Amino acid sequence: MSDALPPAPSGFPDVPATFALPGPAGTLEVATAVPEAGEARAGTAVICHPNPQQGGTMRNKVVTMLERALRESGLATVRFNFRGIGASTGAFDHGDGESGDLVAVAQWVRQVRPGDALWLAGFSFGSYIALRSARSLGADALITVAPPAGRYEFAELAMPTCPWLVVQGEDDEVVDPQGVFDWIETLDPKPTLIRMPETGHFFHRRLMDLRGAVKNAVRPWLPGKTTA
């Protein structure tokens, strides 16, 4: 299936594109998009999808809404399928290999958009991958939606020092909301927390609320507009 994807372009595409990027386990399926020309800012967001063992892909509705919110905020966006999902080769690696996949994508972004701020974002398992990689990658901002505190060893991670947003539904049936809130209380400095009442894990009927919440929260962190 990966043979059907075109190879990675030499630069960041100026129209929506899907292509194959070399990754640590072979091929990574990558999708990019850019904001409206007049809204473009000097930043690129890489967005990580939820657990592939539960059907998570880069086309997940929460991931695509995160992508939309960040693109509407002026950032170029990159989604990708972790190893073994879609046209990405390899097999699930419980977070270790997936972190390597993110590093490969981030390195490509820095190669083709060297002047950009690098933002990382993720949903559920993807937020764990983004979080565990944010400090080592020197991310300029981090967005974690429904981070699976309690399911992974968050206490062992080096916490980021960049601006950081956590969005958590109060009726999440997959990630324990109170566990997330308790974990945040242990952090110093604390991330910006948005608690969304009457909201489950997949933000059913609340996706547009998620879009607005993210756009409002990240506005002060946005890099300057490009002059092109």
Distance between CA 176 and CA 201 in Å, rounded? Answer: 10
Hey, CA dihedral for 56, 62, 68, 70, is it positive or negative? negative
Quick one: tokens of 32?
């990019």
- The pLDDT value recorded for residue 3 is 53
DSSP-derived secondary structure letter, 188: S
CA-nearest of 131, 2, 120, 128 to 56 is 128
- The pLDDT value recorded for residue 150 is 87
**E-strand spans in the chain?**
17-23, 26-33, 43-48, 76-80, 117-123, 141-145, 164-169, 192-196
Do residues 95 and 53 make contact, with C-beta atoms less than 8 angstroms apart? no
User: Digits of tens for pLDDT over the chain (228 positions)?
Assistant: 445 899 999 999 999 999 999 999 999 999 999 999 899 999 999 999 999 999 999 999 999 999 999 999 999 999 999 999 999 999 999 999 999 999 999 999 999 999 999 999 999 999 999 999 999 999 999 999 999 998 998 988 999 999 999 999 999 999 999 999 999 999 999 999 999 999 999 999 999 999 999 999 999 999 999 875
Domains of the chain: 2-219 (3.40.50.1820)
- The pLDDT value recorded for residue 4 is 84
Sequence-ordered list of residues with C-beta below 8 angstroms from that of 63, at least 6 positions apart, any chain:
47, 48, 49, 50, 57, 79, 123, 126
- The pLDDT value recorded for residue 2 is 40
Distance between CA 20 and CA 7 in Å, rounded? Answer: 5
Amino acid at 104: A
pTM: 0.97
Do residues 62 and 145 make contact, with C-beta atoms less than 8 angstroms apart? yes
Distance between CA 70 and CA 199 in Å, rounded? Answer: 21
Amino acid at 170: E
DSSP-derived secondary structure letter, 225: B
- The pLDDT value recorded for residue 1 is 40
Distance between CA 156 and CA 140 in Å, rounded? Answer: 21
